[in-house]
Amino acid sequence: MTFPAIDLSGFDLSRLDPRVHLPFPSDGLLDQERIGGVVRDSTYVGVGLALLALQRMQWERRQLAKRLRNVIG
């Protein structure tokens, strides 16, 4: 199985500079609702990717079993 090549030469990471000061509310408190949303969304993405990986592994296992059954007879 081959994977397609991905060209990242035009990918711009300059906007991810950690030295850039992010705007926070004037009272100095973090926007907890926004941070909670980011954490929740990140969790959903992580769980989704894990489920996709699990389904892919199951599919590969079934394909391998099918090939072995064909070889054995």
- Identify the three-state secondary structure at position 68: helix
Average pLDDT, the chain: 83
* Angle, alpha carbons 18-42-20 (nearest 5°): 15
pLDDT class for 23, splitting at 50, 70, 90? low
Phi, psi of 52 (to 5 degrees): -65, -40
Which two three-digit tokens encode residue 38?
A: 């980011």
Give percent of the chain above pLDDT 70: 79
Cα 53 from Cα 73, distance rounded (Å): 30
The amino acid present at 39, given as its one-letter code, is V
Rounded to an integer, the average pLDDT of 23-42 is 73
Q: Is the pLDDT reported for residue 16 higher than 80?
A: no
Nearest alpha-carbon partner for 34 in 46, 19, 20, 24: 24
pTM (2 d.p.): 0.52
